[in-house]
Structures are given as C-alpha cells and as structure tokens.
Amino acid sequence: MLDIRFIRDNPDAVKQNIINKFQQEKLPLVDQVLDLDAKNRAAITEASELRASRNALSKKIGMLMGQAKKDPSKLAEAEEVKAQVKAGADRLAELEKLEGEYAAEIHKILLVIPNMIDPSVPIGPDDSANVEVERFGAPAVPEFEVPYHTDIMERFDGIDLDASGRVAGSGFYYLMGDIARLHEAVLAYARDFMIDKGFTYCIPPFMIHGSVVEGVMSQTDMDAMMYKIEGEDLYLIGTSEHSMIGKFIDQIIPEDSLPQTLTSYSPCFRKEKGSHGVEERGVYRIHQFEKQEMIVVCKPEDSMNWYDKMWKWSVELFRSLDIPVRQLECCSGDLADLKVKSCDIEAWSPRQKKYFEVCSCSNMGDAQARRLKMRVKGGKGTYLPHTLNNTVVAPPRMLIALLENNLQADGSVKVPEVLRPYMGGKDLLMPKH
C-alpha cells in the first residue's frame, strides 16, 4: 500500500507503475484518491479553524456573562455568540463525519492501487514474460520412462486419493508409509537448514483475523485463496507468511532487534479456484499442504541484500537434494500488488522435461508494514520496516521433484544423503509393487 503523500507528490509515476503492471483499469483510481484526499484535507483544515474559533468564542461568552452582572445588555450579546458556537458545532460534527467517510474511501482505494515495483523488474503482461536468470545443476532425462508422481507413490503404497476423495473430496490426499516419512523428513531437514542459517524456528497460529489478512495480501488474492470460518472473524492461513508477518501488527519494533529472521512450519489451506490442467492433478495443486517458510523484517536499506540471500538459500537446499533448479525473475504483470520484486525457483521435472515452480521469494517493501501499522523505533525516529518472504520447501509438491530426480531404473528411489538421518539411515526406498 502506497503512502497517500507519495501519490500526491508523484501521481504520474504511480500511473506509469499501473501501466507497467498492465492494470489500466486502475488508472482512474489515482485521480479519485487525490480528489478525495484534497476534500479530506480541506475538511480537516476547516474543522481545525472551527475548533480554534469555538475556543475563542467560548472565552468571549465567559467574558460577556461576567460583564452581564453589571450590564444586563451583555446577555443578549452572549446569546448571539452562543448561537455562533452552536452553528459551528453543527458544522464541526458534519465535517468530522465527512473526515471519517473520506478516510474510509481513501483507505479502500489505497488497498487496490499496486505497490511501486523495483526498476530492475522486467516489464511483461503475465508469467509468459518471466525471465530465466540462471540454472543450477544439469537437468537430465533418464533412459527409462519416469511415471506420473502419483504412480510412483502408489508403487510404495504411499498415497490414497480414493480414500481422501471419500473423506474430503478432490484436492486432498492421504500420504502413507515411506512416502509420508519422506514428506516429514524434507520438512525436518528444511527446518534445521534454516536454523543453521541463523533463523528462529516458529510454529505460528493457523488462523488469523481479517485485519491481518487485509494487512498481508491484496483483496484479489484473498478472495482467490482464503477459506473463512463461518460466523467468526477468522481465516485459515494460505501460507505461514501471513501469520508470521501478522505477528508484528500494531507493534513498534526496536531498531536494535532488526533484522527479525523467522522460519516457520504450518499446514496451508487454499481454495485453488479454477481448472489447472492434467499436469496439476495428483498432489501438485491441492487445498491442503504443509510448508516450511522464511520471513525477514529488516531496515529498508537492507531488504535487497536479504532478497538475494533468501532465494539463493532455496537453490542451495534443492541442490543438496540432488534436484536441478533455475531462478526465474517475475515480470511486472506477474507480481501481486504488494510485491516490489519477486522470483520463482523452479525444479526440473525429468518426466515433463521442463521446470515447475517450487519456491517463490518476494520483497514486499514497506507495503505490509504500512497496512499492519508496524513501526521501527530508532535513533532518528520511527520508520516503516521492509518485509520479505520465501518458501523453504512446500511438500508434497516438492516431493514430485524429489521422487522424479532420484528415481532409479528398477523403480527404487535414492534418498539424498542429507535426508538419511531423518529416514532412519535409509539410503534407498524399495517399491512394493
């Protein structure tokens, strides 16, 4: 969310940013919010003048009432001044009501105007214009056929979609046996990986209030993702980033406690509206999954440095699992409205012979901090911090990459060395079918 003062001083830049994000339908919002801002400031000015006048008139009434003890004619004059005070009070009440209405309308529009993107972001309308920056590890296609990921899991009796369909419907799953254990091993390894990077481990609330939802994501994303608890001001989280950043709502953070670096485990719940094609059946795009996340709250001047560190850690983790990956720079049209800059880490799929998204790293600038009323108190006063988030791992999707890239010709799956301590020392998983 942008500061209204920034829009006031830079309307053309804000409009160009909207154009760069291919959201031309939002262009009228800039003039609308500036008009409302001008009316609001005029109302505030008039209200301040009326309060000053009321104070002066009140003193005059007191003086006239004192004089009326000796000169009764002063009573009439005092009554005239009282009438002025009454008229001023009525107008003041009207202005205060207008101020509230203007402020609410301004806030509503500011939630929709997109954040300013970083100058380094490539301009493009959608994810087709995202730019590959670098590859890590050599993508390989084995000589044997790589089955679909659920077929691999079924060979280990590791998944039951029929039962989950009966219990919860499509978009859910039962993971069983070695596959379930591998799922948890990945999460445990990711947890320890981030702790070794100096992050504090956290298990956050899995539900959040509407005020936190509004603070951490755009209205469009909220409607497409979030499940609301009926009759309560609670939403199931779509990612632990939401409750992790929400931890700082309405807080003043001491500058000497920055950066705040947290890594969190949580289940995640998403509507995942729409049809996504045959390649996203199975456990690729689902309503419930588990995730290890990282978030950073830092000084504005440090955020881009943290951004680079965070996505590189994702690369390091996936390479330690013998999975080739690439970094993809997200273009302007593919950025959610709160994001300043974002990139995806995509894993190689030997079966599809292409990469698919497994991590997303984002610098949100001060947008979330402004919405959540987060402040940092330092030696030179208070200011808004920057917030960043990145996926560490999100199984079961990343299990697709893990299973495909570690599948052997005989149907067994090699357990990467870093996961073996979490798998009871196993170095190979043998299929049952």
In sequence order, which residues have a C-beta less than 8 Å from that of residue 42 and are 6 or more positions away?
none
Token pair in block for residue 320: 């330690």
Same domain, 149 and 292: yes
Q: Is residue 115 part of a domain?
A: no
Same domain, 273 and 367: yes
Among 48, 79, 110, where does a domain finish?
110
Q: Is residue 97 part of a domain?
A: yes
Q: Which pLDDT score, from 0 to 100, does residue 62 have?
A: 65
Contact 241, 263 (CB under 8 A): no
Question: Cα separation of 39 and 33, whole Å?
Answer: 10
In sequence order, which residues have a C-beta less than 8 Å from that of residue 226 and are 6 or more positions away?
213, 235, 236, 238, 270, 271
Instruction: Indicate if the pLDDT at residue 414 is higher than 50.
Output: yes
Question: Cα separation of 159 and 167, whole Å?
Answer: 14
Same domain, 168 and 308: yes
Sign of CA dihedral 408, 412, 413, 416: negative
For the chain, what is the domain count? 2
Q: Where are the alpha helices (DSSP H) in 254-381?
A: 303-320, 367-372
CA-to-CA separations, 253 to 215, 241, 293, 371, in angstroms, rounded: 17, 18, 21, 15
Q: Is residue 138 part of a domain?
A: yes
Q: Give the CATH number, domain containing residue 22.
A: 1.10.287.40
Q: Which residues pair with 207 in a beta bridge?
A: 236
Contact 340, 366 (CB under 8 A): no
Q: What confidence tens digit (pLDDT) does each residue in 117-156 have?
A: 999 999 999 999 999 999 999 999 999 999 999 999 999 9
Same domain, 230 and 265: yes
Same domain, 26 and 76: yes
Q: Is residue 117 part of a domain?
A: no
The radius of gyration of the chain from alpha carbons, rounded to an integer in Å, stands at 29
Q: Is residue 118 part of a domain?
A: no
In sequence order, which residues have a C-beta less than 8 Å from that of residue 97 and are 6 or more positions away?
none
Q: Which pLDDT score, from 0 to 100, does residue 274 have?
A: 47
Q: What confidence tens digit (pLDDT) does each residue in 191-246 have?
A: 999 999 999 999 999 999 999 999 998 776 777 788 999 999 999 999 999 999 99
Q: Which pLDDT score, from 0 to 100, does residue 116 have?
A: 98
Highest-pLDDT range among 47-56, 70-79, 329-338: 329-338
Q: Give the CATH number, domain containing residue 381.
A: 3.30.930.10
Among 110, 142, 162, where does a domain finish?
110
Same domain, 87 and 155: no
Same domain, 54 and 154: no
The pTM of this model reads 0.89
Same domain, 240 and 169: yes
Q: Which pLDDT score, from 0 to 100, does residue 283 have?
A: 87
Same domain, 253 and 145: yes
Token pair in block for residue 121: 């972001």
Over range 368-396, report the average pLDDT. 95
Instruction: Go through the chain and tell me how many residues it has.
Output: 433
Token pair in block for residue 170: 């499509």
Q: Is residue 120 part of a domain?
A: no
CA-to-CA separations, 265 to 115, 345, 391, 392, in angstroms, rounded: 28, 19, 11, 10
Q: In what order do the strands lie in the sheet with 207-208?
A: 207-208, 235-236, 227-228
Same domain, 135 and 78: no
Q: Which domain holds residue 86?
A: 4-110
Q: What confidence tens digit (pLDDT) does each residue in 273-297 have?
A: 544 444 557 888 889 999 999 999 9
| Other CB atoms within 10 A of residue 338 CB | 22
Average pLDDT, the chain: 91
Highest-pLDDT range among 60-64, 104-108, 216-220: 104-108
Same domain, 77 and 135: no
Query: What's the pLDDT band for 50 if we cut at 50, 70, 90?
Result: confident
Q: Is residue 268 part of a domain?
A: yes
Q: What confidence tens digit (pLDDT) does each residue in 163-182 have?
A: 999 999 988 999 999 999 99
Same domain, 165 and 45: no
Q: Is residue 406 part of a domain?
A: yes
Name the DSSP letter for residue 323: -
Query: What's the pLDDT band for 94 if we cut at 50, 70, 90?
Result: confident
Q: Which residues pair with 326 in a beta bridge?
A: 135, 346
Among 110, 138, 162, where does a domain finish?
110
3-state secondary structure of 135: strand
Q: Which pLDDT score, from 0 to 100, does residue 183 have?
A: 96
- Give CA 424 to chain center in angstroms: 36
Q: Which pLDDT score, from 0 to 100, does residue 55 have?
A: 65
| Other CB atoms within 10 A of residue 426 CB | 16
Instruction: Indicate if the pLDDT at residue 2 is higher than 80.
Output: yes
